[in-house]
Amino acid sequence: MKDHTTTIAKIFVVTLAATILALTTFGLGVYVGTRTHASAALPPTPAIAVERALPLAVSPQPNANVQTPSPEPAPRPTALASAPSPTPRPAARAADEKIPLDTALLQEVWTLLQQQFYGDLPQGEEVTYDAIRGIVDRLGDQHTGFSDPKAAAMFISDMEGQFEGIGAQVELAESGGVRLQYLFANQPAEKAGLLAGDVITAVDGKDVTKLTLMEAIVLIRGPRGTKVVLTIHRADQPAMDVTVTRARIEIPVVETKTLADGKIQYVSLSEFSSVAPKRLSDAVNTALAKKPAGLILDLRGNPGGLLDAAVSIGSYFVPRGSILIERSKDGAEKVYQRQGTYLLGSTPLVVLVDGGSASAAEIVAGAIQDAGTGVLIGEKTYGKGSVQIPNVLSDGSQLRVTIAHWFTPKDRGIHGTGLEPDVKVSLTKEDVAAKRDPQLDRAVEYLLTGK
């Protein structure tokens, strides 16, 4: 008999209009949200139906009632405290309280469809999944969502910082299909000659222009060593088929470089996955050991991720006090205090943000802004200030439910409004095409001149 209990882990689900931030695009096998200057220039589009899509390597919190084993959380820096405990689950319904579902009416409708509908009907578990999606969609909350077992497994894989696929970051194309936003260096998509901006309209001959992003990603991803034929549309050129051999991709969560003749250290973070705190702490410690005149933390295009990762990472840059306030609809409040070692010291800090910086990225940026330990440069952030709990269901599918909103340490709400940068600098498509980055240039100038 199936166990209908659920595993619950609290995370900040990064979802844009339909379900996730378009910029965070799950990778097609892709990953979720590696931030790049190119993607930073693209505004989030309202309607991706993936659920990743939440970027992040989710490490479900243990639940005494759950019998299905959960993935072990990735190692955290020794200085960090344990992850926040999950919010208690709602009390179960009384045995005599019926779910308001007229199963007889549903059966009547299904029978009539079988008898009369000119076309194919959904089969097997898809009937149940479609019914669940209908109920969830009726709630009108773009961040509460349902994922079938395949999509849920992809979400967990992304949260763990790796996946098997073609090595690209994607979003839905306006006219249907999947647009490649960013290609990971030396990975299958790039090696096969694909380019950022290409639109995939078919996978192994199957039209994907009417599919959701997640449905298309399921077709594009696959075991390493297997081949997939992608039908590509590029600008005004005729459609062409490109064969790509899938591989195991490790998401480059952190990227570093030295700027201004060694005076400035740069660290970018693409998502708040389970591996992010350790990788970022290593990168920041290495950068600060060089005694730079300033440090740049790039959160542009970062769609967010795990709550405990946000608290840990925020603590690197906030010396005292809290990282965020969480408030449920009944007014109950929880304050997440900083934890672990403060890494920044007295080094001046600039945080780069844009419209693709969301959820956990906004938590960290907001905490730094409130603490006064860094200056935000760029464009207004996305404005995703709600908290979701992902419930792993008995068949491996996942139900994410919005349970609260969060606020900065100074009680600023950003849901639907976003964070305003201290220094506003735009990054246009023309800048990207010309390989210019005025936001990064302004950050370097600020750290070298103090203004």
Residue pLDDT, tens place only, 43-96? 222 222 221 233 222 223 333 222 222 233 333 222 222 223 333 334 444 445
Domain with 181, as residue range(s), is 163-250
Q: What is the pLDDT of residues 244-282, one digit of tens each?
A: 999 988 777 899 999 999 999 999 998 898 899 999 999
Contact 200, 231 (CB under 8 A): yes
> Domain check: are 313 and 408 in the same one?
yes
Question: How many Å apart are CA 69 and CA 48, to the nearest integer?
Answer: 30
- How large a percentage of the chain has pLDDT more than 90? 53
| Dihedral in degrees, nearest 10, Cα atoms 313, 318, 320, 326 | -60
Averaged over 369-378, what is the pLDDT?
98
Same domain, 271 and 362: yes
- CB contact set of 68 (below 8 Å; sequence gap of 6+): 3, 7, 392, 394
| Span of 3-17, 44-58, 158-172, 291-305 with lowest mean pLDDT | 44-58
Lowest mean pLDDT among 81-85, 283-287, 372-376: 81-85
Q: Of the residues 250, 271, 290, which one is the last residue of a structural domain?
A: 250
pLDDT band at 313 (very low <50, low <70, confident <90, very high): very high
Is the pLDDT score of 9 beyond 70? no
Same domain, 438 and 342: yes
Do 406 and 323 share a structural domain?
Answer: yes
Same domain, 230 and 265: no
Q: How far apart are CA 72 and CA 212, in angstroms?
A: 30
Residue 80 lies in a domain: no
Both 431 and 444 in one domain: the answer is yes
Query: Are residues 375 and 432 both part of a single domain?
Result: yes
Q: What is the reported pLDDT for 204?
A: 96
pLDDT band at 159 (very low <50, low <70, confident <90, very high): low
Same structural domain, 185 and 329: no
Residue type, 389: I
pLDDT band at 236 (very low <50, low <70, confident <90, very high): confident
Enumerate the active-site residues. Answer: 359, 370, 384
Residue 16: inside a domain = no
Whether residues 314 and 439 share a domain: the answer is yes
Q: Which residue would you say has higher pLDDT here, 324 or 216?
A: 324
- The tokens describing 78, both together, are 């020794």
Q: Return the higher-pLDDT residue of 97 and 222.
A: 222
Overall average pLDDT of the 6-28 stretch: 33
Cβ contacts of 315 within 8 Å, gap of 6 or more: 80, 323, 338, 339, 340, 341, 342
Bridge partner residues of 392 (DSSP):
7, 398
Q: End of a domain among 229, 250, 271?
A: 250
| Residue 158 belongs to a domain | no
Distance, C-alpha 65 to centroid of its chain: 28
Question: What does the block give as tokens for 98?
Answer: 């019926």
- Is residue 12 predicted with pLDDT exceeding 70? no
Residue 376 CB neighbour total at 10 angstroms: 25
What pLDDT is attached to residue 54?
30
pLDDT band at 113 (very low <50, low <70, confident <90, very high): very high
- Three-state SS string across the chain, please? CCCCCCEECCEECCCCCCCCCHHHCEECCEEECCCCHHHHCCCCCCCCCCCCCCCCCCCCCCCCCCCCCCCCCCCCCCCCCCCCCCCCCCCCCCCCCCCCCCHHHHHHHHHHHHHHCCCCCCCCHHHHHHHHHHHHHHCCCCCCEEECHHHHHHHHHHHCCEEEECCEEEEECCCCCEEEEEECCCCHHHHCCCCCCCEEEEECCEECCCCCHHHHHHHHCCCCCCEEEEEEECCCCCCEEEEEECEEEECCCEEEEEECCCCEEEEEECCECCCHHHHHHHHHHHHHCCCCCEEEEECCCCCCEEHHHHHHHHHHHCCCCEEEEEECCCCCEEEEECCCCCCCCCCCEEEEECCCCCCHHHHHHHHHHHHCCCEEEECCCCCCCEEEEEEECCCCCEEEEEEEEEECCCCCECCCCCCCCCEECCCCHHHHHCCCCHHHHHHHHHHHHCC
- Do 212 and 263 fall into the same domain? no
Q: Output phi, psi for 130, to 5 deg.
A: -65, -35
- Residue 50 resides in a domain: no
Out of 13-17, 49-53, 150-154, pick the least confident.
49-53
335 and 208, same structural domain?
no
Its pTM stands at 0.70
Residues 432 and 347 in one domain: yes
Domain count, the chain: 2
pLDDT of residue 164: 83
In a domain, 26, yes or no: no
Q: What per-residue confidence (pLDDT) applies to 252?
A: 77
On whether residue 115 sits in a domain, the answer given is no
Give pLDDT, residue 356: 87
**At which of 250, 284, 310 does a domain end?**
250
In a domain, 30, yes or no: no
CATH number reported for the structural domain that contains residue 279 in this entry: 3.90.226.10
Angle between helix axes 360-371 and 307-317 (nearest 10 degrees) is: 30
CATH number assigned to the domain comprising residue 192: 2.30.42.10
Is residue 47 in some structural domain?
Answer: no
